[in-house]
Amino acid sequence: MNYLLHILIMICLYIILALSLNFIVGYGGLLSIAHAAFYGIGAYIYALLVLQNVPWLISLIFAVLGASLCAYLIAYPTLKLKGDYFILATIGFQIISFGILYNLIPITRGPYGIAGIPRVSLFGIQLTSIPANFLLFGIFAIGIIFFSWAVYNSPFGRILKSIRENEIATQAFGKNTGGVKIWAFVLASGIAAIAGGLYASYVTYIDPTSFTLDESIFILAIVLVGGSGNLKGPIIGAIFLVVLPEILRFIGISSSYAPNLRQIIYALILIIFVFRRPQGILGEYKLE
């Protein structure tokens, strides 16, 4: 039972990450490969604060603010770039952020990681059990789903969608397309930081290898395979790609080969979808 609940917790985690990236990819039409960087920034800020006895909710708020500030500073120059240049800029930021987390040992403890991160406490009760953590992750995932729905259907969401379809026409109507894209980037990064804080509290140990370029590509694959531009696609993508590797456990694949095989399977699935169904399983937008 705990094994199944753990899988559900991971699904909730990646639903939050995929929905947040969908603001940039599915609604903004921008292919970002730096989402794990903001996910990691949120996790580290949260971990460092709670270890200083800052309440978990306040720590989470500061994690969101810290990741959002980093996103704003990065987005302002980066979003002036177009197409492949924007993608390369996000890859560069992802690599730089990993290098900082790995080498800033006095603060992040580098490759040794940060251990002993306290679990979330509600009403004085620490959530140490997996069912309790599933409840916490489920509440946050449902909250992010409703928040995303509200943003998608707001004037801001409609402007962002119009930028995706035709940025020049949107500018012709007097909309500040640059500002809208910046705030979409900031919003997506702040939500990713929430996932980072929750992840740190759940596993109670983080190190830079959890927030690599591979992780950014995996989060992007969830959005592209599930489908971007709506709520259903990222949710389906998270369920599909989180459950898929667990199947390998039941078909006799050696644990020494399973991680590499998992990466190969992810790559093949992504290639198949790019050529055969570029809008994903339930998406409404084809990223070109």
Q: What is the pLDDT of residues 31-53, one digit of tens each?
A: 889 999 999 999 999 999 999 99
Long-range Cβ pairs for the range 144-151 (8 Å, 24+): 144/15, 144/16, 144/19, 144/20, 144/191, 144/194, 145/15, 145/19, 145/231, 145/235, 147/191, 148/19, 148/22, 148/23, 148/231, 149/231, 151/23, 151/187
The whole-angstrom separation of Cα 195 and Cα 30 is 21
C-alpha pair distances (Å), 178 with each of 157, 281, 285: 14, 30, 21
Per-residue model confidence (pLDDT) at position 285: 60
Q: Across the chain, what does the average pLDDT equal?
A: 87
Segment among 22-26, 37-41, 69-73 with least mean pLDDT: 22-26
Residue 287: pLDDT over 70: no
The whole-angstrom separation of Cα 273 and Cα 267 is 10
Give percent of the chain above pLDDT 70.
92
pTM here is 0.92
Q: Which two tokens stand for residue 265?
A: 């399977």
Mean pLDDT calculated for residue range 49-76: 94
pLDDT class of 257 with cuts at 50, 70, 90: low
Per-residue model confidence (pLDDT) at position 253: 61
**Cross-strand partners of 252:** none
Per-residue model confidence (pLDDT) at position 260: 67
Residue 244, classed as helix, strand or coil, is: helix
Q: What is the pLDDT of residues 193-248, one digit of tens each?
A: 999 999 999 999 999 999 999 899 999 989 988 887 788 889 999 998 888 877 76
Who wins on pLDDT, 84 or 108?
108
* Spatial contact of 70 and 41, defined as CB atoms under 8 Å apart: yes
The whole-angstrom separation of Cα 118 and Cα 217 is 29
Who wins on pLDDT, 281 or 36?
36
The whole-angstrom separation of Cα 251 and Cα 42 is 36
Residue 152, classed as helix, strand or coil, is: helix
Per DSSP, 118 falls in state: P
pLDDT class of 286 with cuts at 50, 70, 90: low
Give percent of the chain above pLDDT 90.
50
